[in-house]
Amino acid sequence: MSEAATGAPGALGIASSKVLSMREAIARYVHDGDTVVIEGFTHLICFAAGHEIIRQKRRDLVLCRLTPDLIYDQLIAAACARKLVFSWAGNPGVGSLHAFRRAVERGRPPLEIEEYSHFGMVARFSAGAAHLPFWPLRDYQGTDIPVSNPLIKQVTCPFTGESLAAVPALNPDVTIVHAQRADAEGNAQIWGLLGVQKEAAFASKHVIVVVEELVSTSVVRADPNRTLIPGVIVDAVVVEPWGAHPSYAQGHYDRDNEFYVAWDDIARDPATLASYLDKYVMGVSDRSEYLTLHEGLTTRLAARDMFCAGVNYGY
Amino acid sequence: MTVVAARELRDGEIVFVGIGLPNLACNLARATHAPGLVLIYESGAIGAIPERLPVSIGDPSLVTGSLMVTGMADVFQLFLQGGRIEVGFLGGAQIDKYGNINTTVVGDYEKPKVRLPGSGGAAEIAIHARRTVIISRLSTRAFPESVDYITSPGNRSKGKSRKEWGMPGAGPVKVITDRGVLCASDVDGEMELAALYPGVALEDVTSRVGWALRARESLEMVAPPDAEELRLLREVLDPGKLYLKGS
């Protein structure tokens, strides 16, 4: 059946296309002082968006993410951030985030922090997405986390009298989600690790979806269970193959573990870090130019095929 | 250390796997005595069977062939808070005599000497897993009498027991080190020396602990790794010495 024959409004994706360039999407939806989320737990972290934010010299951002990862280390080093809201600030499997550490230990540059555990951050996004003022969780007893973060409070269950922790809703100005594919309306399909992207997107005032591949709506409709973010909450769609590198996209490319290791040396010295940003972020105009600086990358990290069988949606 | 940790796991158990040595220990257990171990990673991979040693807990090899992949809200609400996790592995920069763990700061929180990564999922694993096992190399720096910051609560924190705090899990039952194994006292939850590795003297352990370590009356001797365990670790699970560096 052709797309037109399905009769779905916007099935051809022309009239309601939300497709923008990365430059346009960041210019339109990320402003100085905004609360910004680039989510993705190890998987699908949109470095291309972070780099464009650095290029457009955004300032005073409140950056939120469970795991700041290298992308927020770079944004902190580029002085884009006023504050970091997080739950685990390390380089996974490697060690420290050195720009983050310099900011917190020595105030270079100054950075306010607001710290939770993963469950606390997940709960904050869940409250934001469900339009509730807070989310209760059985957590933090006996720890110093609520001592250093007074926004973690106690509530008493009205039914059992149990004392529970409560964290406030997090409603970002904009959430940026990388996905394997979406149509022009932003119906985004993700497989592999899902992180907290659905909750973060639903909690957000604006949503930018960045994809490896733009597909027709019929591809989405053929497998609706795969859609994590519906187009109705999406403002912009950016087509940016390899936009998650050095993070990864299941079925497209592997994580660049070598770069995560290399970042330890790059970020340890502020001058080396600055020259990295000069060359690979400020020195290029977009992601395709960034890729030209990485010879052999697409061959080295290309995913091997492992297709699933598919399911029968008939009735 | 990795082999001793692997032996802690029983076949069929549901284990919340952290990165580093716990990851290696869980995969060793799965390759030896516990093929039915269900590995759950906080990234959302349930029943993972990684073909390669995952560098991070979000490695794509955890997804391929797993039983289920779900969002992190499900991992923390349905699996962990829902009481489905039997064992959790934890490590940290500082561990005190009650098994309280610090992975947040060395020094003062506002003006830290060393800023560490923070909790991640560790605080809630420590609270909810039915039991936890701590893995750490021994040193007086890593084992102070009290930690600078409690990220993950042990058997007694801020003057209260786990029961008084209303924590669902039993807390840390063991601390596996590179020289011996500490076990939690049934009486007051304090970690006591329960077993030594072959060739290790009592003083080798007590001199590396920052409090007056109690030793049990009869100390067990930890059996050394057998040839098959060593072969699996060195040739199959971690041939690149990603986690076995210096151990």
Exposure string for B25-47, b = 16+ CB within 10 A, e = fewer: bbbbbbbbebeebbbbbbbbbbe
> Tens digit of pLDDT for each residue in A120-169?
999 999 999 999 999 999 999 999 999 999 999 999 999 999 999 999 99
- Average pLDDT on A22-47 reads 98
Ranking A281-290, B71-80, B212-221, B230-239 by mean pLDDT, the lowest is: B230-239
Instruction: Find the residue in B nearest to A126 (Cα).
Output: B73
Q: In this structure, what token pair is assigned to residue B180?
A: 């011996």
C-alpha torsion angle, residues A116, A117, A123, A124 (rounded to 10): 20
Instruction: Evaluate if residue B245 carries a pLDDT over 80.
Output: no
Percent above pLDDT 90 for chain B? 88
Which of B56, B71, B151 has the CB atom closest to A42's CB atom? B56
Instruction: Find the residue in B nearest to A66 (Cα).
Output: B120
Kindly report the average pLDDT of chain B as a whole number: 95
Instruction: Evaluate if residue A11 carries a pLDDT over 90.
Output: no
- Average pLDDT on B100-126 reads 97
A173 in Cβ contact with A142 (< 8 Å): no
Instruction: Evaluate if residue B247 carries a pLDDT over 70.
Output: no
- Contact B196/A at CB under 8 A: no
Residue B243's pLDDT band, with cuts at 50, 70 and 90, is confident
The kind and range of the H/E element at A52 are: helix A47-55
Strand B172-176 and strand B131-135: the pairing is: parallel
Q: How much is the pLDDT for B241?
A: 82
Q: How much is the pLDDT for A9?
A: 44
The rounded distance, in Å, linking the Cα atoms of B105 and B98 is 19
Residue A1's pLDDT band, with cuts at 50, 70 and 90, is very low
Domains in chain A (CATH in brackets) are: 16-132+171-297 (3.40.1080.10), 134-168 (no CATH)
Closest CA to B77 of A126, A132, A133, A203: A126
> Tens digit of pLDDT for each residue in A109-122?
999 999 999 999 99
> Tens digit of pLDDT for each residue in B179-222?
999 999 999 999 999 999 999 999 999 999 999 999 999 999 99
Residue A112, helix vs strand vs coil: strand
Strand A174-182 and strand A206-214: the pairing is: parallel
Residues in chain A: 315
Instruction: Evaluate if residue A3 carries a pLDDT over 50.
Output: no
Q: How much is the pLDDT for B242?
A: 78
Instruction: Evaluate if residue A13 carries a pLDDT over 90.
Output: no
Cβ within 8 Å, pair A193-B113: no
Q: How much is the pLDDT for A6?
A: 42
Cβ within 8 Å, pair A143-B123: yes
The rounded distance, in Å, linking the Cα atoms of A194 and A263 is 25
Residue A231's pLDDT band, with cuts at 50, 70 and 90, is very high
CATH of domain B2-237: 3.40.1080.10
Instruction: Find the residue in A nearest to B103 (Cα).
Output: A88
Closest CA to A143 of B111, B20, B105, B19: B105
Residue A100's pLDDT band, with cuts at 50, 70 and 90, is very high
Q: How much is the pLDDT for A34?
A: 98
The rounded distance, in Å, linking the Cα atoms of A76 and A56 is 14
Q: How much is the pLDDT for A7?
A: 41
C-alpha torsion angle, residues B133, B137, B143, B149 (rounded to 10): -70
Q: In this structure, what token pair is assigned to residue B201?
A: 């003297």
Output the DSSP codes for B125-177: HHHHSSEEEEE----TTTS-SS-SS-SB--SEETTEEHHHHT-SS--EEEEE-
- Average pLDDT on A98-116 reads 97
The rounded distance, in Å, linking the Cα atoms of B30 and B76 is 23
From the number of C-beta atoms within 10 Å of its C-beta (0-12, 13-18, 19+), residue B21 rates as buried
Residues in chain B: 247
Q: How much is the pLDDT for A131?
A: 98
Residue A308, helix vs strand vs coil: coil
- Average pLDDT on A188-208 reads 98
Instruction: Evaluate if residue A5 carries a pLDDT over 90.
Output: no
Instruction: Evaluate if residue A2 carries a pLDDT over 60.
Output: no
> Tens digit of pLDDT for each residue in A58-68?
999 999 999 99
The rounded distance, in Å, linking the Cα atoms of A150 and A148 is 6
Percent above pLDDT 70 for chain B? 99
Show residues of chain A in contact with B40, CB under 8 Å. Answer: none
Ranking A90-99, A195-204, B13-22 by mean pLDDT, the lowest is: B13-22
Which of A141, A197, A250 has the CB atom closest to B63's CB atom? A250
Is B220 one of the catalytic residues?
no
Question: Which of the residues B13, B42, B190, B229 is marked catalytic?
Answer: B42
Interface test mutation site (partner B, options A84, A85, A96, A117, max chain B beta carbons within 10 A): A117
Residue A61, helix vs strand vs coil: strand
Kindly report the average pLDDT of chain A as a whole number: 95
